[in-house]
Amino acid sequence: MRALIQRVTAAEVAVAGEVIGRTGPGLLVLVCAMQGDTEEAAERMAAKIAKLRIFKDEAGKMNRSLLDTGGGALVISQFTLAADTRSGNRPGFSTAAPPAEGERLYRHFARALAALGPRVETGRFGADMAVSLTNDGPVTIWLDS
């Protein structure tokens, strides 16, 4: 799995002008299932993200996790994280999982993250979504399983 996480003070996702998911302080998680990914990979990625110490403690150091802060997560599927731009000017996406498998693993990831404790809301797989966020820091981190 591949994920891009952003520490946010707020984030929301809308489809056709209707807000379908949001979070207050916490994380925006853009996630892409890659070919060969498994449910176990999704669970490991969820645990890593939940425990990643990227929130400030009382001394202002990044020493607290999403679990420590009680923050929420907005999880959005984003197959374009699989973009291969090594050749030419048009990205290729052949390393992304096929759509049905990608959706299954995306949903499994979101459930695994929620099972660890954070409040999790999601976008809509395959939809044209408008994502708004206020990046906190800014803190943006790329993760590969």
Question: Which among 23, 79, 109, 122 is annotated as catalytic?
Answer: 79
What sign has the CA pseudo-torsion 41, 43, 45, 48? negative
**CA distances from residue 43 to 16, 24, 89, 138 in whole angstroms, order as listed:** 31, 23, 34, 26
Active site residue 134: no
Question: Which among 55, 78, 109, 122 is annotated as catalytic?
Answer: 78
Question: Which among 35, 80, 93, 134 is annotated as catalytic?
Answer: 80
Is residue 134 within 8 A of residue 26, CB to CB? The reply is no
Active site residue 78: yes
Cα 59 from Cα 82, distance rounded (Å): 37
Active site residue 6: no
Q: If DSSP codes are grouped into helix, strand and coil, which group holds residue 21?
A: strand
- Residues with catalytic roles: 78-80
